[in-house]
């Protein structure tokens, strides 16, 4: 680690926090027009604008926040260890953790039979369906029955996270 790396990591953590707050504010559009919302937009737009040009939104879902946060985590890992393999492993672990959280939310939604027409439920279903789709041939979706395909996807994602955690890197 080089001198000044701690200060850079603090700045990266602050930017990550601002990106998370902006993502939350984007779910409540009236918040973006408040004074705090304008400050957060000004503080993060310089970073998100180039990412939006490369990665467009998918189905009304803005992925630039997620990509920006993952890139910042990778930069932080690279600065902390000066090893590109460790930085890539941190990206994979962060992405796997995020996917596990989303699939776990979908499993809970299926267990408690949430309203399928609620916007948050629809967003979670759309985002996690690519993980559940490979398991549909073994666990087909049945009306009024628990959906086991996301559970199988969750087990596979947890296994992948376990495998990345036991890799001898560093």
Look over the chain and give the mean of its residue pLDDT values, rounded to a whole number.
83
The model's confidence at residue 122, banded by pLDDT at 50, 70 and 90, is confident
- The residue extents of the domains of the chain are 1-82, 84-170
- 136, containing H or E segment: none
Mean local confidence (pLDDT), 142-148? 82
Determine the pLDDT at residue 107: 92
Given a contact cutoff of 8 angstroms between Cβ atoms, the answer to whether 95 and 77 are in contact is no
Mean local confidence (pLDDT), 127-140? 87
Closest CA to 120 of 140, 144, 96, 102: 102
Indicate if the pLDDT at residue 161 is higher than 90. yes
pLDDT in tens, 52-107: 888 777 666 677 888 888 888 888 877 877 677 777 787 788 888 888 998 999 99
Indicate if the pLDDT at residue 1 is higher than 70. no
Secondary structure (DSSP) of 10-79 = HHHHHHHHHHHHHHHHHHSGGGGGSHHHHHHHHHHHHHHHHHHHHS--BTTB--HHHHHHHHHHHHHHHH
pLDDT in tens, 14-46: 998 888 888 877 777 777 777 888 898 899 999
């Amino acid at each position: 680690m080089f001198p000044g790396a701690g200060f850079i990591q603090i700045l990266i953590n602050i930017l990550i926090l601002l990106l998370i707050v902006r993502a939350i504010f984007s779910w409540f559009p009236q918040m973006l027009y408040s004074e705090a919302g304008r400050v957060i937009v000004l503080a993060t737009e310089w970073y998100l604008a180039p990412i939006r040009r490369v990665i467009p939104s998918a189905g009304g879902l803005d992925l630039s926040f997620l990509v920006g946060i993952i890139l910042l985590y990778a930069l932080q890992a690279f600065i902390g260890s000066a090893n590109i393999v460790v930085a890539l492993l941190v990206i994979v672990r962060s992405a796997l953790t995020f996917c596990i959280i989303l699939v776990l939310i979908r499993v809970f939604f299926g267990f408690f039979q949430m309203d399928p027409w609620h916007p948050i439920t629809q967003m979670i279903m759309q985002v996690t369906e690519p993980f559940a789709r490979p398991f549909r041939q073994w666990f087909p979706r049945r009306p009024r029955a628990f959906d086991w395909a996301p559970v199988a996807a969750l087990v596979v994602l947890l296994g992948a996270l376990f495998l990345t955690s036991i890799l001898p890197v560093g």
